[in-house]
Structures are given as C-alpha cells and as structure tokens.
C-alpha cells in the first residue's frame, strides 16, 4: 500500500472519516502556521509601520534598490493585482517611489526612498527574534527547512 496520508502512515488503514479529520490535515497546519507567523510579525513590524507582505517587498528592495514590478512579483510570487495597490500604499507612506521605465514604458521601476532604505537597520533583529519564537533545535529546524523547500518545489512544479 502506498502511504499518502498521515493517518494512513500512523494507523495503516483507510477510513473516510479519518482521512477527513481536521487534525490530520497537514495543510490546515500550514494554513494556521502562516497566520500565526503573520500575527507574530505584526507585533514586530508595528514599530516600523509595515505589514508582513510589505516587509517581504522591503527584503527584496534592500537587496536590490531598483526593481520592476514584474521582477518583484517573480520573487514574491505575487501578480500586479496584489502588488500595484500594495506598492501604492507603500509609496504614499514614503517608503518607495514608482516610475515608468524609460527603456520600456510598459514597466514600472520601484526604488527605495531614504526612509525605506533606512528601515533595514531597524529590521535586522527581526528574523532572529522570529526564530527565537519558533525556538527549534538547529538540526530539526534545518530538516524542516529542507522538507519545506522540497514541498514548495513540488507544488511549484504543478503550475
């Protein structure tokens, strides 16, 4: 028998009720973990005045000061339907500027303002504080990270 669900692996039997039990839904745990992490970030990011998705955009921009909406979307796996309004909010908060590319008028180039760039310093403590909260022994964290990467690449393959 091919093992495909947690409950099958644990109990070696198939049962419709069992398969559908919420507790067995690993996806529900990922869904919940995502919201818990966002909630935790909310507190940490409050002092620099950005949301978690905005913080992710800043992470990209701290690595590369100028980037098109398209490239940003590729890194964050978000489309213009999400990014355009979010970037407008960040612009009106003085974190970045949006300008049409001279070379290709279809593209919009996002670049950090002084203010946006300056937040990097304040944010540098955040990843450590976050992982302190998760508080896993290094090896287990590394194993978890690897499996998560594997899962992501398999999910991405199905596109």
Partner DNA sequence: AACAATTTAGTTGTGTGCAATTTAATTTGA
Partner DNA sequence: TCAAATTAAATTGCACACAACTAAATTGTT
The encoded tokens of residue 80 equal: 């213009």
Identify which of residues 80 and 145 has a Cβ nearer to a second copy in the complex.
145
Which range touches a second copy (CB under 8 A), out of 12-20, 91-99, 100-108, 110-118? 12-20
Name the one residue in this structure whose structure tokens are 């093992």.
3
- For residue 142, the SS3 value is helix
List the one residue from 4, 82, 118, 145 that touches DNA (CB under 7 A): 82
DSSP of 98-134, one letter per residue? EEE-SS-TT-EEEEE-HHHHHHHHHHTTHHHHHHHHH
List the one residue from 53, 59, 62, 75 that touches DNA (CB under 7 A): 53
36 vs 158: CA distance, rounded Å = 27
Choose the contact partner of 45 out of DNA, a second copy, none; CB within 5 to 8 A by kind: none
Identify which of residues 99 and 133 has a Cβ nearer to a second copy in the complex.
133
Give how far Cα 101 sits from Cα of 71, 90, 125, Å. 13, 19, 34
Name the one residue in this structure whose structure tokens are 């300008």.
99
Identify which of residues 35 and 100 has a Cβ nearer to a second copy in the complex.
35
Question: Does 154 contact a second copy by CB under 8 A?
Answer: yes
Q: How many residues bind a second copy (CB under 8 A)?
A: 66
List the one residue from 44, 86, 117, 126 that touches DNA (CB under 7 A): 86
Question: Does 84 contact DNA by CB under 7 A?
Answer: yes
In 3D space, the residue among 62, 112, 72 whose CA is nearest the CA of residue 91 turns out to be 112
94 vs 109: CA distance, rounded Å = 15
Q: Which residues bind DNA (CB under 7 A)?
A: 31, 35, 38-39, 42, 51-54, 68-71, 73, 77-87, 89, 98, 103-108
């Amino acid at each position: 028998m091919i093992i495909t669900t947690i409950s099958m692996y644990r109990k070696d039997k198939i049962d419709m009720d069992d398969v559908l039990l919420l507790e067995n839904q690993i996806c529900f745990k990922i869904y919940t973990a995502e919201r818990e992490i966002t909630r935790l970030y909310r507190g940490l990011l409050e002092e620099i005045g950005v949301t978690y998705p905005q913080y992710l955009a800043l992470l990209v921009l701290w690595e590369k000061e100028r980037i098109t909406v398209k490239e940003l979307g590729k890194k964050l796996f978000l489309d213009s339907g999400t990014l355009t309004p979010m970037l407008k909010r960040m612009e009106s908060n003085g974190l970045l500027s949006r300008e049409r590319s001279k070379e290709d008028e279809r593209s919009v180039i996002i670049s950090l303002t002084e203010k946006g760039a300056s937040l990097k310093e304040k944010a540098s403590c955040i990843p450590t504080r976050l992982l302190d909260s998760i508080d896993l022994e290094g090896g287990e964290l590394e194993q978890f990270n690897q499996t998560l990467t594997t899962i992501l690449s398999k999910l991405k393959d199905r596109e």
